Amino acid sequence: MGALTKIRAPRVRHVAPVVDKADLPLGRILPGDCVEAMRSLPDASVDLIFADPPYNLQLGGDLNRPDGSHVDAVTDDWDRFDSFATYDRFTRAWLTEARRVLKPDGGLWVIGSYHNIFRVGAIMQDLGFWLLNDIVWRKSNPMPNFRGTRFTNAHETLLWASMGEKAKYHFNYRAMKTLNDELQMRSDWVIPICAGQERLKKGGHKVHPTQKPEALLYRVLLATTEAGDVVLDPFFGTGTTGAVAKRLGRNWIGCERENIYREAAMERIECALPLDESALKTMQSMRTAPRIAFGSLVEAGMLAPGTELFDKQRRFSAQVRADGSLMSGKECGSIHHVGKTLQGAPSCNGWTFWHLEHEGAIKPLDALRQTYLLSIED
Amino acid sequence: MGALTKIRAPRVRHVAPVVDKADLPLGRILPGDCVEAMRSLPDASVDLIFADPPYNLQLGGDLNRPDGSHVDAVTDDWDRFDSFATYDRFTRAWLTEARRVLKPDGGLWVIGSYHNIFRVGAIMQDLGFWLLNDIVWRKSNPMPNFRGTRFTNAHETLLWASMGEKAKYHFNYRAMKTLNDELQMRSDWVIPICAGQERLKKGGHKVHPTQKPEALLYRVLLATTEAGDVVLDPFFGTGTTGAVAKRLGRNWIGCERENIYREAAMERIECALPLDESALKTMQSMRTAPRIAFGSLVEAGMLAPGTELFDKQRRFSAQVRADGSLMSGKECGSIHHVGKTLQGAPSCNGWTFWHLEHEGAIKPLDALRQTYLLSIED
DNA sequence: CAGGGCCGTGAATCGTCTC
DNA sequence: TGAGACGATTCACGGCCCT
């Protein structure tokens, strides 16, 4: 009953544009310490942050404080605790700024290894970020463990979080499913390490020790941003995030202390070619597609009142009525409601449950909806 | 020169047996809270701890599959914590006791998901445990994400740690490599979830909501314990750790609060069949096997002084001398040193580099070492 | 008027084992 | 052979009423 009265305008993202994009340093790399650099950005101005912070731990090597001063090598227990504490302070500092500049429906990605990721993850939770997935980047060609003392360290971990437990966030479910041959994308991604042509080199040496593969960023940005979104990378390095953002039609902002990386990144991003607009269009999920009321199919004449509908096994049948409601015996209501009640199920998707006979074949209602959707596009 | 002076007795594990195994409750499940239960164990008495603590899932409402059926979720009391702070206190408490009962060269494994593993990992580091690997258990058949709101949560994480940065630990590199078709075992393991015959059921319902697959424990115990070691599981559940420990000839101790799980576990472990001894011996690591000096082969009469050795391509040759040193032209020293110098290589494993002719066939020295190893066993 | 709670509509599944 | 069951799951969202 009354299905027609429920027709709504297609939903849009209704986070108020507090910040004008023109006020943001889009397509620029901010020099200096990332915490300082982020301070120059307004609150709630960024859609996504991708961060590849220093793993800086336990390498017997260097650890820098947020202010850039150097921490002496860690030898005894006291120093070890001191260094974890220092790393934690550094992490809390940049994550706090990240949180400030992110929109309420923004997303955060951080990549790390077992040296730092547990500290980062715990601090993210402490600051109120809500973990959505931990993603395993499974390297198809990892470095072997030469000394045979441990398992080959063949993966790194990415954390994906929203701003809070109840916060909205963006996930292009349909695009990911398409990318994965019509199966749901899993939390483990097999991607080769960055090598060959893609690896930036100067004088035969790699420019950056931990350059990430573009395929990794491609999947991250495709999954959790829309074209036109603003993506911030506080540890920009040689600009993989910027290069992929440009290709995918996303805006980007970087922070990077090292002059040499900034230069390499800008040069690289200049060369990146944006995909054209039609290539950028991704599969939409039903949830974000315009919502179609069943009644509008009747209204449009695609389905005559009185048409008989069946479930696939023909255990149930029902009749379409002029107002877009369904009737089956004494039961009447929406296609979903009648399907649910007849089955005694907790819920029912009427679009896939009900079928109709058309030229001898049985088709689900959903096929009709697809046809209708195409007819009203553009 | 003077290679004989370098001959050492085969190394043995030289952690003093502070505790007599007879004083430990081997093959028993201690009832009650695991922290209390562990208090009854002596200091430094356990070789390995495998822990599967509550994950603190914080589940919301009900979940139905698209077909309307209901998902049987983990709603047990033991998985509910008020806050991260409460969970952290709990974690610190049991990890502290775990640390006390572990031997200085003991190992710790903890399994978890993104809900808890970052807190656990950070606390492990804070307590002084040294992370050796984070292992990804990639489920071949995970539960899908029915709502299409995230990536399919297709893995869990295991942390493997030693008692400290400089602490010794046990890793059966060779056994892992054998298990993995002569490739180094990686940090990501593909193992199916526990289902079918293996899953303990009572009245058609699963006995424990989160029973782990035996294949997982098999790999953990094979990798990081020796036959006869003492393995403790503070969250014993239905005793997967005990069952696999028994199969592999390891001693086990469990802690479990729930009477019903203890009973199911004991019954299950009774039925587990230990592998026979020869099957267990097949995969000993060269690294943990007693170290053999080349000279001892000469000493044992397995190799006569004067025997001619070649590299595989017969580019180089050398003569064995009575003291276990090698001579090739003017070059003399250990089998490794001479091999290295002749090739001009930075290093050389003499055991695999040098070969000898025996009954018409060419065999590497290593084959001789294997024979010798077998002869001195037991 | 902000925010919490209730309610109705509606969108959404993969691999494996059992019967 | 095919239908059904099921697994550590932080798994929707908007409108409206009520405080």
Of A283-287, A339-343, B362-366, which has the strongest mean pLDDT?
A: B362-366
Tell me: pLDDT of A24 over 90.
yes
SS3 A259: helix
Percentage of chain B with pLDDT > 70?
A: 86
Q: Which among A10-24, A228-242, A317-331 has the top mean pLDDT?
A: A228-242
- Write down the pLDDT at residue B359: 76
pLDDT at B294 exceeding the cut of 70: yes
A vs B, Cβ pairs < 8 A, gives 146
Angle in degrees, CA A290, A293, A295, rounded to 5: 145
Give the nucleotide at minimum CA-to-C1' distance from A337.
C9
CATH architecture of B21-279: 3-Layer(aba) Sandwich (3.40)
Q: Answer whether residue B26 shows pLDDT above 90.
A: yes
B60-86, pLDDT tens digit by residue? 788 999 888 899 989 888 888 988 999
On the CB side of B196, CA atoms within 13 Å amount to: 5
Query: Residues A152-170: what's their mean pLDDT?
Result: 95
Q: Give me the pLDDT at residue B68, please.
A: 83
pLDDT band at A15 (very low <50, low <70, confident <90, very high): very low
Q: Which chain B positions have a beta carbon within 8 Å of A173's beta carbon?
A: 148-149
Model confidence at A10: pLDDT above 60: no
CA distances for A215 relative to A137, A188, A212, A222, A243, angstroms: 11, 14, 9, 10, 11
CA A183/CA B354 separation, integer angstroms: 53
Give the mean pLDDT of A171-189.
88
User: Over 60: is that where the pLDDT of A69 sits?
Assistant: no
Cα distances (Å, whole numbers) of residue A108 to A120, A146, A176: 12, 35, 18
Which residue shows structure tokens 């059926």?
A: B69
Q: Which of B124, B150, B159, B170 to mutate to test the interface with A (most CBs of A within 10 A)?
A: B150
With a CB cutoff of 8 Å and minimum separation 6, the contacts of B196 are none
Contact A29, A262 (CB under 8 A): yes
State residue B62's pLDDT score: 86
Q: What is the reported pLDDT for A330?
A: 80
- pLDDT tens digits for B345-355? 777 888 888 99
The partner residue sitting opposite B151, judged by closest CB among A115, A122, A185, is A185
pLDDT at residue A347 greater than cutoff 90: no
pLDDT of residue A72 exceeding 80: no
**From the CB of residue B81, how many other CB atoms can be counted at a distance below 10 Å?**
18
Query: Which residues of chain A does CATH 3.40.50.150 include?
Result: 21-279
The DSSP annotation for A284-313 comes to PPTTTSPP--HHHHHHTTSS-TT-EEE-TT
- First-residue to last-residue Cα distance in chain A: 30
For residue B162, what pLDDT is reported? 98
The helix (run of H) or strand (run of E) holding residue A110 is: strand A102-112
Instruction: Identify the residues numbered 137 to 196 in chain A whose C-beta atom is closer than 7 Å to any atom of strand C.
Output: 173-174, 177, 182-184
User: Distance (Å, rounded) from C-alpha B332 to C-alpha B330?
Assistant: 6
Predicted confidence (pLDDT) at residue A1 exceeds the cutoff of 50:
no
pLDDT at A26: 98
- Residue B184 and residue A152 in contact, taking contact as beta carbons nearer than 8 Å: yes
Give me the mean pLDDT over the B223-245 stretch.
96
Q: Residue A377 pLDDT more than 60?
A: no
Which band of pLDDT confidence, cut at 50, 70 and 90, is reported for residue A251?
Answer: very high
For chain B, the straight-line distance linking the first and the last C-alpha, in angstroms and rounded, comes to: 32
- At residue A108, the 3 state secondary structure works out as strand
**Percent of chain B scoring above 90 in pLDDT:** 57
pLDDT at B287: 44
Listed as ranges, the nucleotides of chain C within 7 A of a protein C-beta are 9-18
Q: Which residues of A175-185 are buried (b: 16+ CB within 10 A; e: fewer)?
A: bbbebeeeebb
Model confidence pLDDT, tens digit, residues B138-173: 999 999 999 999 999 999 999 999 999 999 999 999
The pLDDT confidence band at residue B285, using thresholds 50, 70 and 90, is very low
Residue A77 has pLDDT above 80, yes or no: no
- From chain B, pick out residues whose CB is under 8 angstroms from the CB of A77: 128
Which range has highest mean pLDDT (A200-214, B78-92, B255-269)? B255-269
Q: How remote is the C-alpha of B114 from its chain's centroid?
A: 23
pLDDT exceeds cutoff 70 at A318 = yes
Give the integer Cα–Cα distance in Å for B270 and B132: 33
Q: How far is CA A359 from CA A297, A354, A363, B262, B298, in A?
A: 18, 17, 10, 63, 90
Asked if A132 CB < 7 A from strand D, the reply is yes
User: What average pLDDT does this structure show over B255-264?
Assistant: 97
Helices within A154-213 (DSSP H only): 173-179
Predicted local distance difference test score (pLDDT) of residue B303: 81
| Cβ burial, residue B350 (10 Å; 0-12/13-18/19+) | buried
Note the pLDDT of residue B296.
66
Name the most confidently modeled range: A93-97, A177-181, A288-292. Answer: A93-97
- Looking at residue B350, its pLDDT comes to 87
Q: Which of A68-72, A167-171, A344-348, B354-358 has the highest mean pLDDT?
A: A167-171
Instruction: Over range A344-352, report the average pLDDT.
Output: 78
Query: Are the Cβ atoms of A171 and B155 closer than 8 angstroms?
Result: no
- Measured in angstroms, the CA of A318 and the nearest CA of chain B are apart by 20
Task: Provide the pLDDT for residue B76.
Answer: 87
A122–B121 CB contact, under 8 Å: yes
Mean pLDDT for all residues in chain A = 84
Highest mean pLDDT among A266-280, B48-62, B93-107: B93-107
Interface check B57 vs A, CB under 8 A? no
* CB of B256 nearer than 7 A to strand D: no
Q: Is the CB of B195 under 7 A from strand C?
A: yes
Find the mean pLDDT for residues A24-39: 97
Which pLDDT score, from 0 to 100, does residue A295 have?
75
Per-residue pLDDT, A344: 75
Check whether A276 has a pLDDT greater than 80.
no
DSSP collapsed to 3 states, chain B: CCHHHHCCCCCCCCCCCCCCHHHCCCCEEEECCHHHHHHCCCCCCEEEEEECCCCCCCCCCCCECCCCCECCCCCCHHHCCCCHHHHHHHHHHHHHHHHHHEEEEEEEEEEECCCCHHHHHHHHHHCCCEEEEEEEEEECCCCCCCCCCCCECCEEEEEEEECCCCCCCCCCHHHHHHHCCCCCCECEEEECCCCHHHCCEECCEECCCCCCCHHHHHHHHHHHCCCCCEEEECCCCCCHHHHHHHHCCCEEEEEECCHHHHHHHHHHHHHCCCCCHHHHHCCCCCCCCCCCCHHHHHHCCCCCCCCEEECCCCCCEEEECCCCCEEECCEEECHHHHHHHHHCCCCCCHHHHCEEEECCEEEEHHHHHHHHHHHHCC
Query: Confidence band (pLDDT; 50, 70, 90) for B8?
Result: very low
Which pLDDT does position A350 carry in this prediction?
A: 83
Say whether pLDDT at B231 is over 90. Answer: yes
Q: Does residue A147 carry a pLDDT above 90?
A: no
Most confident of A56-70, A93-107, A351-365: A93-107
Q: Describe the strand order of the beta sheet including A317-320 as a list of residue ranges.
A: A331-333, A326-328, A317-320, A308-310, A355-358, A361-364
Average pLDDT, chain B: 87
* Mean pLDDT, rounded, for B178-207: 89
Question: pLDDT category, A17, cuts 50, 70, 90?
Answer: low
pLDDT grade for A365, boundaries at 50, 70 and 90: confident
Distance set, CA A139 to CA A132, A153, A244, B156, B184 (Å): 22, 9, 19, 17, 14
Q: Give the gap in angstroms from C-alpha B164 to the nearest C-alpha of chain A.
A: 9
The predicted structure's pLDDT at residue A289: 67
| pLDDT surpassing 70 at residue A60 | no
For CA atoms A241, A244, A250, A253, the dihedral sign is positive
Q: What is the pLDDT of residue B375?
A: 64
Residues 37-66/A with CB < 7 A to strand D:
none
Asked whether B287 and B11 are in contact (CB, 8 A), the reply is no
Q: Residue type for A203, please?
A: G
**What is the separation of C-alpha A90 from the centre of its chain, rounded to a whole number of angstroms?**
25
Output the six-digit token pair for B99.
């640390």
Q: For position A291, what pLDDT does the model report?
A: 65
Distance in Å, residue A333 CA to nucleotide D18 C1' = 28
Who wins on pLDDT, A244 or B73?
A: A244
